[in-house]
Amino acid sequence: MTLIESSVMDLATTICRNPEIMFTELGDKTMTMNIETGNYHELNSIGSAIWREIEQPVQIDLLRDRLCNRYDVSPEQCLSEMSDFLTELSALQMVVVGKEPTGN
């Protein structure tokens, strides 16, 4: 089950980076490291674009719209793939999920 499909997250949910995650950009990729767990991950160019977009809290629907404007992808496909990615980041404790409105 993805975050979008769960009761935890819907299109109005906000998401942002976990401030405890260290990262560096290497070309079009991003390397992240969770200091608490010692786990590190490499994000590809699209994952890196999402990582940059969630520096500040952003609603899921706004994030989807920004990515659709940047890439040649339908809103449905973007939401599906973005939800899978964000679910993975959430499981790794790399993002903070909330319900607060962002005002964006």
CA distance 98 to 70: 25
Prediction pTM value:
0.84
pLDDT tens digits, 24-35? 999 999 999 998
Instruction: Summarize the confidence of residues 76-96 as an average pLDDT.
Output: 93
pLDDT tens digits, 92-102? 999 999 865 44
CA distance 73 to 64: 10
CA distance 88 to 64: 17
Intra-chain end-to-end CA distance of the chain, in Å = 28
Q: Which domains does the chain have, with CATH numbers?
A: 14-98 (3.90.930.60)
CA distance 95 to 17: 4
Q: What 3-state DSSP class applies to 41?
A: strand
Those residues whose C-beta lies under 8 Å from the C-beta of residue 83, and which sit 6 or more positions away, are 2, 3, 4, 5, 9, 60
